[in-house]
Amino acid sequence: MLDVAIIGGGISGLTAAYQAQRRNLTYRVFEASDRWGGAIHTINSLQGLEEAGPETLVGKPQVLELCRELGLEDQWIPASKERPLVLKDKHLLPLPEGFRRLMPSGTKAVFQSPLLSNWGRMRLLMEPFVGQHKGDESVADFIRRRLGEEVLQWMVQPIVTGIYGADPEHLSMESTFPSLLKREQEHGSLYRSFRKSPPKEATLLGFRQGLSHLVLTLRQKLKQDWLHLNSPVLAFSPCGGGEWHIQTKDQRVRARHVLLALPAPTTSSLLQSFAPEMAALIRPIVARDVAVLCQAWPKDKVQVPEGGSLLVPLTQGLCFSSCTMAHLKWPGRSPWDVVTTRLLLGGAGREQFLQLGDKDLIERCRQDLNQLMPLQGDPLKSVLVRHPQRLPEYPVGHRQRIADLLELGQAHPTLHLSGNWLEGVGVADCIQRAISVSRLWKRVRTPEQAAAV
């Protein structure tokens, strides 16, 4: 019998497997697809290195410690701190300093932003006099209530769709931006909060060889014959004594603990047969379809804007929500004479564009991108990667939903859940969750017995 069966070979599953191995636990990792890493997908070519999945890692303590253990400290590179530009009525205007994570360096930066009209600035002055809201609410309702409609439309909505692929009208404030909500609760006003305690911008990191290098390093640290690609789990069920039977297309195994490191829809399906109440709580969590288009252009054929990235509000009608100038955001990853762009497609309000075939979608992207940075000739490289049901959208009340789910899960104490639909959509969030869950695992065998398996 195994100590742990891990279902899902994304960053959550691989991190959990690494933690199991450090503790001399026996494990197996079952991944349904033909590659490891889930949404992480680095593309490396003569025209440069780009991320066709997540592109940054937030430098949280547990994540940094893991990278040090893996010997990756010398591979870290910080993302450039150039301010993103927002498209407004055919003009690219800078986002207020530090506003990337909805935590501006100060209210003055927001007040002076050219993205706001005079009325928008007057509305901003009312913020200290706005009352608090009890309980969770949508990101849109919070921003509209405290900062006004213009801040929502021209600053917050482009960030939320450009990073999370989500609709701020439905996104939970409590689950998505808890630190901003905490400031309101503690100080009664964001303005007073920023004056007393200016926020620190999160450290965003990448790797010289891309995020896939983290996946590769984790995989190389694991026992290769305990890793199984193309192994979808067809069924699993409790078999008494807190143990589990797991059935794949090729084998049947028994384990003391099971970790489901899967997207929400797949997790819900697997739980339905023996834990229908848990499955029902997970089922309403929406996971948005997105795609990433990575392209390289001759530098002398492109007029590059000054910002490191471009954010596109839904009202502007383009097919992508953000465009990262990867050669500027990650200096040294591309040849000096090449411009590399990364477009995020799909997500809330733009799902219809993903109905296009690859060729038509790439052509539509070219037409829209040409409005922001005139293009001449053909790209040196175009790689389109689709990510169906990849970005979960935390609805209002999500935190309570997850609390209720985990409470129901106490009936199955050796069943564990991880993934970007629980407590954070970022790579760092998934790593932290997997590390925390792995601490609950208990060894079935002695280290000597484990080594003999």
Q: Please name the residues in contact with 234: beta carbons below 8 A apart, sequence gap of 6 or more.
A: 247, 248, 249
Instruction: List the beta bridge partners of residue 359.
Output: none
Candidate ranges 22-26, 131-135, 326-330; pick with highest mean pLDDT: 22-26
DSSP class of residue 343 equals E
Whose structure tokens read 């305990």?
A: 226
Domains of the chain with CATH codes: 2-39+212-285+396-452 (3.50.50.60), 96-196 (1.10.3110.10), 286-393 (3.90.660.20)
Tens digits of per-residue pLDDT, 33-83?
Answer: 999 999 999 999 888 899 999 999 988 899 999 999 999 999 989 888 788
- Relative to beta strand 244-248, strand 233-238 is antiparallel
pLDDT of residue 446: 47
pLDDT value at residue 384? 97
User: For residue 27, is pLDDT > 50?
Assistant: yes
Output the DSSP codes for 113-167.
Answer: -TTS-HHHHHHHTTGGGPPP--S--BHHHHHHHHT-HHHIIIIIHHHIIIII---
CB atoms within 10 A of CB 205: 19
Write b or e for each residue in 316-347: b if 16 or more Cβ atoms lie within 10 A of its Cβ, otherwise e: bebbbbbbbbbbbbbeebbeeebbbbbbbbbb
pTM for this predicted structure: 0.92
Task: Please state the rounded mean pLDDT for residues 380-404.
Answer: 94
Give residue-wise pLDDT tens across range 281-292.
999 998 899 999
Report, in this order, helix, strand and coil percent for the chain, each rounded to 5. 40, 25, 35
Token pair of 312 as six digits: 């596109």
Angle at 293 between CA 291 and CA 295, to 5 degrees: 170
Q: At what angle do helices 427-438 and 61-69 cross, to 10 degrees?
A: 80
Give the tokens for residue 172: 């939970």
The whole-number pLDDT of residue 100 equals 61
Q: Quick one: average pLDDT of 366-379?
A: 93
- The model's pLDDT over 201-258, given as tens digits with 9 standing for 90+, comes to 778 889 999 999 999 999 999 999 999 999 999 988 998 788 999 999 889 999 999 9
- Confidence label for 102 from pLDDT (cuts 50, 70 and 90): low
pLDDT score recorded for residue 452: 46
Instruction: State phi, psi for 28 to the nearest 5 degrees.
Output: -140, 145
CB distance 358 to 384 below 8 Å: yes
Quick check: 348 and 164 in contact, CB under 8 A?
no
Q: Which helix (H) or strand (E) holds 325?
A: strand 320-325
Place 453 in a pLDDT band, splitting at 50, 70 and 90. Answer: very low
| Cα angle for residues 138, 144, 149 (degrees, 5° grid) | 130
pLDDT digits (tens, 9 = 90+) for 347-365: 999 999 999 999 999 999 9
Q: DSSP letters of 178-240?
A: HHHHHHHHHHS-HHHHHHHSPPPPPPEEEETT-THHHHHHHHHHS-GGGEESS--EEEEEE-S
Q: Name the residue among 269, 286, 259, 278 with its Cα closest to residue 419.
A: 259
pLDDT at 104 over 70: no
